Amino acid sequence: MVDRHQDRKIIVSDPEKCSGCRLCEYVCSMVNEKIFNPHKSRIRVISLGPLANMAVSCRKCEDPLCVASCPKNALSQEENTGIIRVNEHACTGCGWCIGACSFGAINLHPDKKIAYTCNSCTNTDNCDNEPQCVQWCTENALQYVTAETLAQKTRQKIVNQLLDIPKTNNNNNSNNDKEEKETEKEKTK
């Protein structure tokens, strides 16, 4: 049983890798709705610019505003996974949960007119410990990770970026200058 919020797995998208192909949307709609229709997907790709895209899905918040905002108590959160469940009989499709979600991860089903969001493929037979959108992403832009793993990867990325900064140490510059001069001399011989 997962008892800490930071141990819950979430789907994260790397905008540097996401091509905007929307395969994740098609896979999600097929797995959950048995139809290729991105409007029925529980993950959504948004364009951040001409060459930047990112997939958005439920973040499994510790105190989800979507659940708190529902006037019919139709939404609940599984304690161990953080997955938001919608009671289809209680949901009236009022949209309060949609407005309350800071990530835009809840949508109104186009046919049923009730709220729906990512279920991490837990209600399907197709889940192999990882949501199907993650498994099918051809660019490896999606990952299913804990918040702690995500934080560690972010720290590693920042350190790598810092290490790529050219060094301005005088000793390094003088050594580089010597190597360049020796190379030039060899070329003229």
Residue 19 has pLDDT above 60, yes or no: yes
Which pLDDT score is estimated for 170? 47
Instruction: Determine, yes or no, domain membership for 126.
Output: yes
Q: According to DSSP H, which parts of 44-146 are helical?
A: 65-69, 96-100, 132-136
Which pLDDT score is estimated for 129? 78
Which pLDDT score is estimated for 57? 96
Which pLDDT score is estimated for 54? 95
Q: What is the mean pLDDT of the chain?
A: 86
- Give whole-number Cα distances, 157 to 14, 151, 152, 164, in Å: 12, 10, 9, 11
Instruction: Determine, yes or no, domain membership for 113.
Output: yes
Instruction: Determine, yes or no, domain membership for 9.
Output: yes
Q: What angle do CA 25, 143, 10 make, to 5 degrees?
A: 85
E strand or H helix that includes residue 77? strand 75-77
Domain extent for 129: 5-163
Cα–Cα nearest to 65, from 101, 105, 106, 99 = 101
Q: 50-64, 84-98, 120-134, 143-157 — which is least confidently predicted?
A: 120-134
Which pLDDT score is estimated for 65? 97
Phi, psi dihedrals of residue 184, rounded to the nearest 5°: -60, -40
Count of beta carbons in the 10 Å neighbourhood of residue 20: 18
Residue 119 sits in a domain whose CATH number is 3.30.70.20
Instruction: Determine, yes or no, domain membership for 75.
Output: yes
Instruction: Determine, yes or no, domain membership for 177.
Output: no
Instruction: Determine, yes or no, domain membership for 175.
Output: no
In total, how many domains does the chain have? Answer: 1
- The label of the residue with tokens 């099918």 reads 136
Which pLDDT score is estimated for 47? 92
Instruction: Determine, yes or no, domain membership for 180.
Output: no
Residue 29 has pLDDT above 50, yes or no: yes
> Rounded to an integer, what distance in angstroms lies between the CA atom of residue 184 and that of residue 189?
9
Give the pLDDT confidence of 137-184 residue by residue, as tens digits. 999 999 999 988 988 988 988 888 888 865 454 444 445 455 555 545
Instruction: Determine, yes or no, domain membership for 76.
Output: yes
Which of the pair, 186 or 79, is modelled with greater confidence?
79
Kindly state the average pLDDT of the residues 106-110. Answer: 97
C-alpha dihedral sign at 64, 70, 71, 75: negative
Task: Please report, rounded to a whole number, the percentage of residues in the chain having pLDDT higher than 90.
Answer: 65
